[in-house]
Chain A
């Protein structure tokens, strides 16, 4: 079963606008990561936030984590057409032999030029 669930499932915005994507999860985590996937290709790691962090920035990306609400958000500022892709949140669970990353089903972001 999926641990992370992204919201919305699809998002369409105009170039230059900000895009906000949300992720909720159910159990405790060690970290939460966001990945991007361009049409049928491999995933690219965007940013990682640890369970004891609340906010992290990387270029035009800003990630927040609220462990009390078991939720995270990814903000892409000043979006570009090249940001069009699917975005996945992945929760990291480290319990020895059961350590793994669990991915959500993804958000399809379309940025109109």
Chain B
């Protein structure tokens, strides 16, 4: 079974631009969560999608948004990029919905975003 895939793996953007990152979960997984990882703040939860609906959201500004498609693939978008958005963006998928979706998350390799 293929693991979680994320594209692109590396991205360089300039301030003010927008970016879209993609995540394909493990086949059969319906929950996709997104995290931002930086040296200073560590791993921070962005949001979680389940069955095309955003179910949980972290404390990030509205510039960060996401969506999930009927095949469970998910995208996250960051508009008006700031230098501080430079980070490793990780997505994770899990099999079931509800509380049990947090029993184990399978992570992708991440997208390294650099904002210049």
Q: Which A residues contact B (CB, under 8 angstroms)? A: 2, 30-31, 33, 35, 40-45, 48, 88, 92, 94, 97-106
Q: Are B107 and A30 in contact (CB under 8 A)?
A: no
Chain B residues closer than 8 Å to A106, beta-carbon distance: 42-43
Q: Are A42 and B90 in contact (CB under 8 A)?
A: yes
Give Cα A43 to B104, complex, Å.
11
Identify the stretch in B14-22, B75-83, B108-116 within 8 Å (CB) of chain A at 4 or more residues. B108-116
Chain A residues closer than 8 Å to B106, beta-carbon distance: 45
A101 to chain B: closest residue by CB:
B102
Interface centre among A31, A42, A97 (most CB of B within 10 A): A42
CB < 8 Å neighbour of A99 from B99, B104, B108, B109: B99
Given contacts A41-B110, A42-B110, A45-B106, contact A94 B99 (CB under 8 A): yes
> What's the nearest-Cβ distance from chain B to residue A98, in Å?
7
A-B contact pairs, 26 of them (CB 8 A): A31-B103, A33-B104, A40-B88, A40-B112, A42-B107, A42-B108, A42-B110, A43-B105, A43-B107, A45-B104, A48-B104, A92-B102, A94-B99, A97-B55, A98-B56, A99-B55, A99-B101, A99-B102, A100-B48, A100-B102, A101-B33, A101-B102, A101-B105, A103-B42, A103-B43, A104-B42
Q: Does B4 contact A (CB under 8 A)?
A: yes
> What's the nearest-Cβ distance from chain B to residue A93, in Å?
8
Given contacts A100-B56, A101-B105, A103-B42, contact A43 B99 (CB under 8 A): no
Given contacts A30-B99, A103-B42, contact A45 B105 (CB under 8 A): yes
A30 to chain B: closest residue by CB:
B99
B109 to chain A: closest residue by CB:
A42
> What's the nearest-Cβ distance from chain B to residue A4, in Å?
10
CB < 8 Å neighbour of A2 from B42, B58, B88: B42
CB < 8 Å neighbour of B90 from A43, A45, A102: A43
A88 to chain B: closest residue by CB:
B43
B4 to chain A: closest residue by CB:
A42
Q: Does B64 contact A (CB under 8 A)?
A: no
Chain A residues closer than 8 Å to B108, beta-carbon distance: 42
Chain B residues closer than 8 Å to A92, beta-carbon distance: 99, 102-103
